[in-house]
């Protein structure tokens, strides 16, 4: 682990695209400002761990049983007025 000392308003660069700035220091808390490309996810460690845990659980689920999925991610049945895909009206051109 690399350990660096920084004061308020000083910045650390990671590669060419990621900046970490010390925004504030109070008592035992340090506030960091992070500038990174939108394609680079940035999470607190506990959030990252929770995402990884959820991904592992989702990878273990059997897709034959959509009823075992949480309601928020269950597939919608196709509408009777449309085909299996949203832009499939059933008409062939």
pLDDT tens per residue, range 38-58: 999 999 999 999 999 999 888
Three-state secondary structure readout of 9-29: CCEEEECCCEEEEEEEEECCE
CA separation for the pair 62, 30 (Å, rounded): 43
> pLDDT of 2-35, one tens digit each?
999 999 999 999 999 999 999 999 999 999 999 9
Predicted confidence at residue 83, as pLDDT, reads 53
């Amino acid at each position: 682990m690399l350990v660096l000392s920084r004061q308020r308003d000083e910045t650390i660069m990671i590669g060419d695209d990621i900046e970490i700035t010390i925004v504030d220091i109070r008592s035992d808390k340090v506030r960091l400002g992070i500038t990174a490309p939108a394609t680079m996810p940035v999470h607190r460690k506990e959030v990252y761990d929770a995402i990884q845990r959820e991904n592992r659980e989702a990878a273990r689920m059997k897709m034959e049983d959509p009823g075992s999925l949480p309601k928020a991610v269950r597939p919608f049945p196709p509408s009777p007025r449309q085909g299996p895909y949203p832009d499939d009206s059933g008409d062939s051109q």
